[in-house]
Structure 1
Amino acid sequence: MGEYVTVDGLRTYYEVQGEGDPVVLLHGGGVNADSWYAQIPALAEHFRVHAPECRGHGRTPDVEGPVTSELMADDLIAFLEALATGPAHLIGWSAGGTVALRLALRRPDLVRKLVLISSGVSRDGATDADAAILDDIERLAGMFRPQYERLSPDGPGHFPVVFAKWLKMWREEPDIGLAALAALSMPVLVLQGDDDGVHICHSAAVAAAIPDAQLAVLPGTSHTAPLEKPDLVNRILLDFLADHQVPKLLPLGALDQPPAPH
């Protein structure tokens, strides 16, 4: 079910479904809440699921000025406070993971658990193919234009304006870095596909830098693992979000830094 809430002057669209503890799903750059179609019903069997659409995405209008993860984190903080959800489980995918991470660092009181899907913390964590696609403007525009034009309240003619903002954000972010992650106090799940836009070694370094983190690499998946293997992704998400966590019987330090080669 889609609803709107106006926070700090921004009329924000969001999907909401289910009852229970709050879960907030943050879509990736250039897409919208519909990208979570395979996760919302599964999570809503156990939680109250909110899937907001960020500024300039989907049914939420653009705002004058740039689009950055910092500004979208501001919007999300205002959204959570307006809905008075209390601390929520926060799940961010791709650029949505950057937004979720910024919020968790700034307002840990609003986050119970954090999930980062296909989302690094610095540009050097991106694969060569991920970096190259940002120069293929025609292909990128073809991927995102149809859904934008179908839904945007700003009209189809606004796409070139917002697309230029997205490109700038994608080329400059994420820029958080590993050192900041030690401040995360909540449990974190770092999840990606084995053929993703983030180097697996980067995700391992991200998980290693977080005091309480888990790492999941999904076989046979890419940057769109939640669409490709939704049942597996949903099972992992529900396992991580559960109150009871299976105890580790023989932890052997897989995320420790390996010794330097001789």
Structure 2
Amino acid sequence: MQTVQVNGAELAYTDSGPTDGVPVLLSHSLFFDHSMFDDLRDKLVEAGHRVVAYDHRGQGASSPGTRDELAVDALTDDAAALIRALDLAPVHAVGNSLGGFVALRLAARHPDLLLSAAALGSSAEEEHQLEAFAPLVDLLCEVGGAEHVDTLLHIMFGDTSLAEQTPAVEHWRTSMAALGPSIGDAAWQVIHRGRIVEELADCRVPVLAIAGSEDHAYPPPISDINIAEAAAGSYRTVSAAGHSVALEQPDIVASHLLEHFAAAPVR
């Protein structure tokens, strides 16, 4: 992996595909890292795109951060700085869950940096399960992921993936079990984020929402129709996929993304 200094942090990232390809930025979910997009990245590279997938501050191989530095708004500032540092603009910003929060905020606040935005398994609203998630986040802050990995997997994957115990589920089971207590600060900020609905009302960037039909965290319409209506965008709903739709159904997601990219105005 490569690293770049932005906003006082060292962000780790991969840079794949032709350097002259239209760039795509991939922003990952809470509890994951950039590698959740490996299959999706390969599909986008095959289509001729330059694809940068990075780790959020406080996760993966990037620098740790204080709780304040892990706020969704702060992570959005990091993403904007990363785009500038790597001279990616204008770029297609794609994010799953937490990464989708970032992509939507980039669309609303930094439209000059984007060609389009896509929010996968995400939400434009405040956390609708705050009371349910808060006790889990408190426990993560104390002991990390090992004792709660089954709960995390249920949140992050759909019923089909869980029933089949796919290789992805098993891989991320091991990864989530290894998460230390510091992940709790990132999780706290996710569930205490603000809404972006009103800011998206004036959004001039094309926005696509992609939802998993089996999403336990942000089920449709939260993850599809609601986002599309807020941003005057479009949506697609993917069967046999949960919250990690980019990981669970990468071929279908890639097809929807490429269609979305092709329809975006050329700049």
State yes or no: 1:240 paired with 2:260: yes
DSSP 3-state at the match of 2:39: coil
Structure 2 residue 100 is matched with structure 1 residue 97: yes
**Structure 2 contact 91–113 (Cα < 8 Å) conserved:** yes
Contact 2:96/2:244 (CA < 8 Å) preserved in 1? no
| Alignment RMSD (CA, Å) | 2.8
Q: Distance in 1 between matches of 2:139 and 2:67?
A: 24
Matched, 1:84 2:87: yes
Pairing 1:51–2:68 present: no
CA offsets 1:15-51 (integer angstroms, 9 cap, x no match):
1101201100000112110100111111112211000
| 1:182 lines up with 2:201 in the alignment | yes
Of 130-139 and 105-114, more deviation after overlay is shown by 130-139
Cα distance in structure 2, aligned partners of 1:176 and 1:56: 22
> Which ranges of structure 1 fall in alignment gaps of 5 or more residues?
151-155, 246-262
- The yes-or-no answer on 1:22 pairing with 2:50 is no
Could you tell me how far apart the structure 2 residues matched to 1:124 and 1:100 are? 17
Give the helix-richer structure, 1 or 2: 2
Contact 2:124 2:196 in 1 (8 A): yes
Deviation string 1:135-191 (CA, Å, 9 cap, x unpaired) is: 7753159767953797xxxxx8xx21x222023113212x22422221210111011
Q: Secondary structure at the match of 2:4?
A: strand
Distance in 2 (CA, whole Å) between partners of 1:4 and 1:145 is: 26
Give the whole-Å Cα distance in 2 for the aligned partners of 1:100 and 1:134: 23
Tell me which structure has the larger Cα radius of gyration: 1
The answer (yes or no) to whether the contact 1:22–1:49 under 8 Å persists in 2 is: yes
Separation of aligned partners in 2, 1:163 and 1:126 = 19
Offset, 1:12 = 1.2
Q: Report the secondary structure of 1:15's partner residue.
A: strand
Q: 1:206 to 1:127 in 2, by over 3 A?
A: farther
Percent identical residues:
27
TM-score w.r.t. the length of structure 1 is 0.79
- Which aligned segments of 4 or more residues in structure 1 are displaced greater than 4 angstroms? 124-137, 140-146
**What corresponds to 2:163 in structure 1?**
none
Q: Distance in 2 between matches of 1:199 and 1:135?
A: 24
- Determine the C-alpha separation between the residues in 1 that align with 2:218 and 2:29: 14
Give yes or no for contact 2:58–2:64 (8 Å, CA) kept in 1.
yes
Distance, in Å, in 1 between the alignment partners of 2:196 and 2:184 is 25
TM-score when normalising by structure 2: 0.78
Q: 1:128 to 1:118 in 2, by over 3 A?
A: farther
Q: Distance in 2 between matches of 1:123 and 1:64?
A: 22
Provide the secondary structure at the position in 2 that maps to 1:14. Answer: strand
Give the 3-state SS of the residue equivalent to 1:92 in structure 2. strand
Q: Which residue of 2 aligns with 1:164?
A: 184
* Residue number in structure 2 paired with 1:257: none
Q: CA offset at residue 102 of structure 1?
A: 1.5
Q: Structure 1, residues 44-76: CA drift from partner, whole Å, max 9, x if none?
A: 122110001110111101023421111111111
Cα distance in 1 for residues equivalent to 2:82 and 2:261: 22
Counterpart position of 1:210: 231
Find the residue that maps to 1:6 and give its secondary structure: strand
Please name the residue that 1:9 is paired with. 8
Question: Following the alignment from structure 1 to structure 2, what is the Cα–Cα distance between the partners of residues 121 and 209?
Answer: 8
Kindly report which structure 2 residues correspond to 1:114-153, keeping only aligned pairs within 5 A, or say none: 114-123=117-126, 125=128, 137=140, 138-140=147-149, 147=175
Aligned length: 234
Per-residue deviation at 1:104?
1.7
